Amino acid sequence: MIARERPDALLVAADGFFASRRVQLANSAARERIPASYSQREVPAVGGLLSYGTSIVGSWHQAGINTGNILKGAKPGDLPIVQSSKFELVSNLQTARLLDLEVPPTLLGRADGVIE
């Protein structure tokens, strides 16, 4: 479908289905030479161009805190809703070169991770 529609770029949202197929998605986008952005930092590690999203480590940490509180007797409905406050930017320069894209130095300077 990506090849048939030929979008200028692709934004892949956070979703368990997409996360389980991150290698396939990254390879397809690169093969079709479509710049793609993902919400999970694991995707640039397998060839995705870049990711920007909440810290999964922070989310799991908060889940652990909530689980501990529930095991100590707190009612789940009484726990506060906590919104992620840390977002991570990761760029894959190998994929950028493959797509003939130049990643601006200002973007690289702000990145939490750069894959060379």
Confidence class of residue 1 from pLDDT cuts 50, 70 and 90? low
Residue 98's pLDDT is 94
- The alpha carbon of 25 is separated from its chain's Cα centroid by a whole number of angstroms, namely 12
Helix/strand/coil (H, E, C) string of 4-49? Answer: HHCCCCEEECCCHHHHHCHHHHHHHHHHCCCCEEECCCHHHHCCCC
Tell me if 29 sits within 8 A of 49, measured CB to CB.
yes
Confidence class of residue 2 from pLDDT cuts 50, 70 and 90? low
Amino acid at residue number 37 = S
Residue 17's pLDDT is 87
In terms of average pLDDT, the best of 4-13, 16-25, 58-67, 96-105 is: 96-105
pTM of the shown model? 0.77
Question: CATH: 3.40.50.2300, 3.40.80.10, 3.30.1360.20, 3.40.50.300. Which one for 2-56+86-115?
Answer: 3.40.50.2300
